[in-house]
């Protein structure tokens, strides 16, 4: 007796409420299998796309930029144009924190 025949014989002996549960379970495992199949096919397509994209990478020419002789900006260019308040890093007021948090 095959597995299919054995399962059918068992199904024929089940009461109606249990048959509904078995039917639901069959639907569940069918969907689960379909999802795995679709997911693995999607992964395969993604890998194929990446491999195709990387085929041209070995043909790229790698160059390094020559160090530039540009002078760095000197410190203090904005000296005297503004002052940092003493309470710059003090905690924010509670109402402002609440506004940011959407309360």
Q: In the chain, what are the domain boundaries?
A: 1-57
Contact, 47 vs 39, CB < 8 A? no
pLDDT tens, residue order, the chain (103 aa): 788 888 888 888 888 888 888 888 888 888 887 777 777 778 788 778 777 777 766 666 666 667 677 788 888 888 888 888 899 899 989 999 999 888 8
Query: Which H/E stretch holds residue 25?
Result: helix 16-55
Could you tell me the pTM of the whole model?
A: 0.37
Task: Count the neighbouring beta carbons within 10 Å of the beta carbon of residue 42.
Answer: 10
- Name the token pair of 89: 């890093």
What is the rounded distance in angstroms from the CA atom of residue 26 to the CA atom of residue 19? 10
Q: Considering only CA atoms, give the Rg of the chain.
A: 34
């Amino acid at each position: 007796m095959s597995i299919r025949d054995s399962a059918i014989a068992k199904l024929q002996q089940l009461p109606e409420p249990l048959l509904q549960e078995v039917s639901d379970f069959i639907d569940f495992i069918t969907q689960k299998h379909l999802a795995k199949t679709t997911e693995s096919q999607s992964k395969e397509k993604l890998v194929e796309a990446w491999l195709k994209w990387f085929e041209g990478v070995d043909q790229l020419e790698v160059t390094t930029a020559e160090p530039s002789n540009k002078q760095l900006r000197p410190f203090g260019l904005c000296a005297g144009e503004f002052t940092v308040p003493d309470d710059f890093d003090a905690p924010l007021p509670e109402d402002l924190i609440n506004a940011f948090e959407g309360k």
